A and B are shown apart, each in its own frame.
Chain A
């Protein structure tokens, strides 16, 4: 189609003089092995969406088993083949594989790679004012390592012994011994290979994000003028850099135990009356290593979503974010605390109760910065001129889930209460609300909000509203009942509960949960349709559809590699000048100098004008064209 260049509204730079840089590239270098951060972001997004679909389908299959234990699943035989038993039931070991793969896919491939990979890549250069990442080549490698990792995991789904099935936390000895469960054979080996590649991908990405944020900001973009999205991605990358290597260590030792016969995690194991040769290992050691990554990982998943929603809520409330510094501070505090609470996943491993109390206290302290964030979201909304775009609705959904899911964290964080609740559906409810749903909503909100910048077109709002309401109601219907099921003692990861008299009272609730899960998944197809349709047929997007202040909206509608055709714009003010008293419009982009807005400046900002201007040459006009 014709290339219409829409001039950015702001304008310190007039780019008549500059020809557009043409990056001649063939199909392969433009779309496949691209080093452009925007293309790489889209690659992450689309791969992440494909995984989300697979992970979602898996969850519906095991929900069928849990909700309708009597029903026949014969009709799934064409797809699942031998995993359907001759009686038409799901194979119990395959059930465990499904649960494991669902967890692994969602936590790592969708909410880590799909979320950080997409938005850190897309937004960091655009919002700090850089032409690309510090190293485009490493960035490309980061995606291709993720792709390889995905391919390995995908292949493992089709093994005759099935994919890994020891849970996403892959605790040994279960995950170490193929004799224990089929999935711990080749499936687990591929899981480990895939995770090793994944870790390399994450580290390559993270090194790039941190370097870019620190070294490549445009003129005037001081740390205190960075949008909260950037702060969030920055902290996320730091957490990842410090915690993923630890998962690497754990995986390495597990590989040695599995394939070379060492005994880091194995000891005194009898199988069919026969003792294994492994002595002297400690399975608890694995849990320490795993959760040293595992807990920070939950924040790796959540922080980018919080950053995205901070931006969307401020923009759509037409108000400055409440407590910018408190938001940054609480993210930093969360990032630090996330490294010293891991043992709250291990309260029932026989740890010293005194140590348990220490971890209880440290864990409960996390509630403080979390509450600060919720408070700031609500106060930003308070009295705002709220626009309910789909992105805004999903952001509000995140705030809701973060609250309801975070509160149950306080129950679990008490080492005494956790004795009853550990490994029940209560935990499942907790983390699906606070991590699963909240981060997922953040990601979806980000897609709706930045779609115009990614593809130059708008997504359909009406489909967006339907998608939102079905998903929002669906998520609560799925996960709220799980609290009750969990308090009743229903253990997680059980294939069948019909043999237990105690749990027969929960049949209806389990059925409701499963139906709601199907409803929620089907709503995602509306989104998929909207997404794909809008890429090709959506309404053309204006340059700045949400009247936003940040730098990405000053680029042309289809930014080339390099982002800005002319010079990179300079930044003069923080990103949250919405509805400033006295201002002509209800937003002032970051690129507008104070000298252009005498009507709305505060006193100390007027003083800055003197610094802005050199030898008193008049005012730079803003809307020159």
Chain B
């Protein structure tokens, strides 16, 4: 009965969806917030601890410069892959995603050899907190990057199966957001560690 009338009823206030966002994407942003808080707290702990003195000063491994370059390039290739995905150019998407993934893995290997460099110059995980912090910050970032590579592999597989079409790129976009975020996070950490020694 009343169904009929409801049809031609307009709602006073249309549901305001101020952030008309895919809930999953929104969730990703919230997750990124928590990651930001973890690193913000660790770097502020670093600052507080450093202010108390008894702080060992040393050079960061030279490899960290190269890995930083690799991660920046990987963000660029990631973005290019996205642009091609919008044009449904699957071949280019595949190639660029592969390059991105390889650069990510190269980054991780580079970080590891950065640690080896540190150890050979007698900077150990167990030592002055200034030394331990470098390992904790780069290690925790590396762990996040591993999850980024896995996410990338999922998207890569989707593209390989031909399920990545221009109308349906939400997952790809999330992967890209995460990737750019992790790249930015590393640049922040690297800059931070270089400036606050």
Interface residues of A (CB under 8 A from B): 11-14, 17, 134-135, 138, 203, 206-208, 210-212, 214-223, 241-246, 248-250, 252-253, 256, 260-264, 279-282, 285, 288-289, 292, 570, 572, 593-594, 608, 611-615, 617-618, 620-621, 624
Contacts and interface: CB of A to CB of B under 8 A. Distances in A.
A279 B55 CA distance: 11
Interface residues of B, number: 45
Nearest to A261: B126
A207 B31 contact: yes
B126 A262 contact: yes
Contacts, number: 151
A566 B141 CA distance: 47
Given A135-B27, A203-B34, A211-B26, A617 B8 contact: yes
B10 A614 contact: yes
Interface stretch (B46-54, B69-77, B154-162): B46-54
A316 B48 CA distance: 50
Contacts of B1: 14, 621, 624
Given A11-B2, A245-B35, A288-B45, A260 B125 contact: yes
Interface stretch (B90-98, B128-136, B170-178): B128-136
Contacts of A288: 45, 48
B41 A14 contact: no
Interface of B: 1-3, 5-6, 8-19, 21, 23-24, 26-27, 30-31, 33-35, 37-38, 41-42, 45, 48-49, 52, 54-55, 125-129, 132, 136, 140
Contacts of B55: 280
A11 B19 CA distance: 29
Contacts of B48: 282, 285, 288
A611 B10 contact: yes
A533 B16 CA distance: 43
A466 B23 CA distance: 45
Contacts of B16: 222-223
Given A245-B35, A263-B132, A624-B2, A612 B9 contact: yes
Nearest to A218: B15
A620 B9 contact: yes
B134 to A, nearest CB: 12
A406 to B, nearest CB: 28
A570 B13 CA distance: 10
B12 A612 contact: yes
A611 B12 contact: yes
A282 B27 contact: no
Contacts of A241: 30, 33-34, 37
A620 B34 contact: no
Nearest to B42: A249
Contact of B125 (A13, A14, A262, A618): A262
B23 A134 contact: yes
Contact of A249 (B14, B17, B41, B54): B41
Contact of B129 (A135, A263, A593, A614): A263
18 contacts: A138-B27, A207-B27, A207-B30, A215-B19, A215-B23, A217-B15, A220-B13, A241-B33, A242-B37, A244-B34, A249-B41, A260-B126, A264-B49, A289-B41, A292-B41, A572-B12, A612-B11, A620-B5
Given A280-B54, A572-B12, A215 B17 contact: yes
A345 to B, nearest CB: 16
Nearest to A281: B129
A253 B30 contact: no
Contacts of A249: 38, 41-42, 45
In the complex, the 8 A-B pairs of residues with the closest C-beta atoms, listed nearest first:
A245-B37, A614-B8, A134-B23, A246-B41, A249-B41, A245-B38, A207-B30, A262-B132
A537 B161 CA distance: 55
Specify which of B5, B12, B23, B30 lies most central, judged by the most chain A CB atoms within 10 Å of its CB. Answer: B12
Contacts of B27: 134-135, 138, 207-208, 211
